[in-house]
């Protein structure tokens, strides 16, 4: 398992190093609108998937914590709502950045 993480990290480093060179040239054609729409769809789908996964884990952990200690349910609920707000804000920022990039 550790070897897989090392490979993923190396792949991330390689992509990070070569990404500026890939985006250095100006775009030539008008066909970018279609590709931009596809990229926007994928970007928002990834952000929504990550948000859903994170919110599910937050709610699961909060419910487990409230079940173990019902006396602390109020504090756990407040922390859960704050965490959910932060996760949802990241998705809304992604949507705003996508809207700014497309227009």
For the stretch 78-87, pLDDT in tens is 999 999 999 9
Task: For 20, list phi and psi in degrees, rounded to 5.
Answer: -60, -35
Question: Which residues are CB-neighbours of 66 under 8 A, at least 6 positions away?
Answer: 72, 73, 76, 77
Regarding pTM above 0.75, the answer is no
For the stretch 23-33, pLDDT in tens is 666 655 555 66
Here the tokens at position 34 are 């279609």
6-10, 52-56, 64-68: the lowest-pLDDT one: 6-10
CATH class held by domain 32-103? mainly alpha
Region class of 51: left (phi > 0), else alpha (psi between -120 and 50), else beta: alpha
Rounded to an integer, what distance in angstroms lies between the CA atom of residue 72 and that of residue 74? 6
Token look-up 């398992």 returns 1
Length of the chain: 103
């Amino acid at each position: 398992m550790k070897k897989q993480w090392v490979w993923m990290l190396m792949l991330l480093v390689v992509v990070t190093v070569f990404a500026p060179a890939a985006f250095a040239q100006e775009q030539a054609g008008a066909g970018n609108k279609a590709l931009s729409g596809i990229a926007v769809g994928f970007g928002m789908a990834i952000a929504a998937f990550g948000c859903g996964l994170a919110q599910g884990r937050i709610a699961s952990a909060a419910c487990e914590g409230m079940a173990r200690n019902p006396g602390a349910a109020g504090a756990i609920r407040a922390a859960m709502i704050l965490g959910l707000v932060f996760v949802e804000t990241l998705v809304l920022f992604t949507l705003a950045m996508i809207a700014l990039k497309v227009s």
